Structure 1
Amino acid sequence: MEALAQVLSCSVCLELFTPPVLVLSCAHNFCKKCLEKILISQNCSHVNGQFSCPMCRKIIPLRGRGIIGLPRNILVESILEKYKYELENVHAKEQDQLSQICEEHGERMNLVCLTDDKPICAICKLFGEHESHNVAKLSEVYSERKKRLIKDLDWVNQQSEHAEQAKKEIEMLINELTDTAAEVKVVIDATGAGLLKGIRRRMTELKAILGKEYSVKVENLQQLANELEVPRNLYREMKTLLEQHSNSVHFLQEDKILRSKIEKLAKGNSLYPNKKDYHISVGQYFKDLIKATHINNYVSSNSDETPTRSDELPDVFRPECPTFSFSDEMSNESFYEKLMDFFQKANETKQDLNQNASHRDNNSTPNRNDI
């Protein structure tokens, strides 16, 4: 093998030929890469140049084609390929032989230590660390283990087939989930867009109704406010007449007119409007907004935006009443009743405060009979 290796070695790199192998007219062979280096070292860069063989110094002309024009030695390349194959086999056999030799004693391992489950040599059993261990012949253990491995191989193969089938089913489930998720997303987008559109339209309608109700009630209150100027104006006319009448005739004439105004004022309605007639129901507008809408789709006990504490609500809806919370099991009707009860208590608290203030104002206003 060594003599063959020398024949198949390049005289330039001193290694086995690296294909392609080029043969010169003097019959010497070289690696193509090594021959390119030779041309560079001899300053032969022209396609019509010439160089000398490193082995015999014979002049080799390139004949107008450069190094490409030199023939390949297919025979050497074929022999080289077979030599490398045989060399690998020899190396593998040597490694196989070495793997069967005990590294500690250099003897062939023909026993198996059953205690440590490892191959050993006879010296390991007689004088080594495995002296007190149970052992068996390596050939017998090998035959038994090989049969067991073949049996296990069949079982593992079955498991592999089952796993492959399960993997296909999982891939199908993933594809179905992907398709279903895409379909549900489309449904959510379409349905959500429709709901939002409906809610926005309803919000616009309710705002228009609220604006109209507000305008009418404010206009009426403004009219009442103007009527409340009548007593003050009448008071000024009476005081002016009392202080500035020129004679008794003039006084009696003007007094007659003022008495008719006083009687009209006495027959008139109360100076204070009925506050219930000028109240805007928050609860009613809220009820109209969420009508035909499942409130649990928007309000959940897990939502961070759910006002579960009274201190999270605006000041106007923070009465001295128990707080409430939302639940997923709560129906629309029970939720609405609970929420309306909360708003009702808030409104009653506001009305009580307003009535107390009005009562204090009434006590400070003089009655006509007291004049």
Structure 2
Amino acid sequence: MDTMDNLEKQLICPICLEMFTKPVVILPCQHNLCRKCANDVFQASNPYLPTRAGAVTSGGRFRCPSCRHEVVLDRHGVYGLQRNLLVENIIDMFKQGSTSSSSSSSKPEPEKREEAPMCEVHPEERINIYCVTHALPTCSMCKVFGAHKDCEVAPLTSVYQTQKTELNDGIAMIVGNNDRMQGIISQLELACSTVELSSDAVKRGLWS
């Protein structure tokens, strides 16, 4: 299980902080990006270059989000970057392994599709990361170029799971404390009843 977790960490895109989405491109510095994420970073770095079908198709440059190495592109834009077929194959094998292990243990529940909230600053980007520094959910572009570029961030899903666990633990503690208080109250009521009975017995003894 630890090996699978370590492998999954190696397959996380530094922009969207989720598992790489094919096609995966490899930069000259040997770091990998989802091609869509590479295109988002490229467009943000070259806002005045012409676009076609949502992608910058003429030459330009941007910096690798992992090492800040400058990436110079030709007239094909991000489509001129080489695909990392090895990483794509590893992703396929990882997903097959995860699917087979989950199906062998129990029948998975149907996936619930919910519309992801969009960033107010970058309306075309969905909120998918959590700024730990400011305790706010944000988008990948805010981390790369915006107000949170120098902040510590984490995947939104992992923060959600952590906070959900902490909340459940807090609720369990409150319930446990309530049960203990009820037990103490019951003991006090029993003690009061015993004292009252003893007092009545003493009174009857004095008047008899």
- TM-score, with length taken from structure 2: 0.44
- TM-score, with length taken from structure 1: 0.25
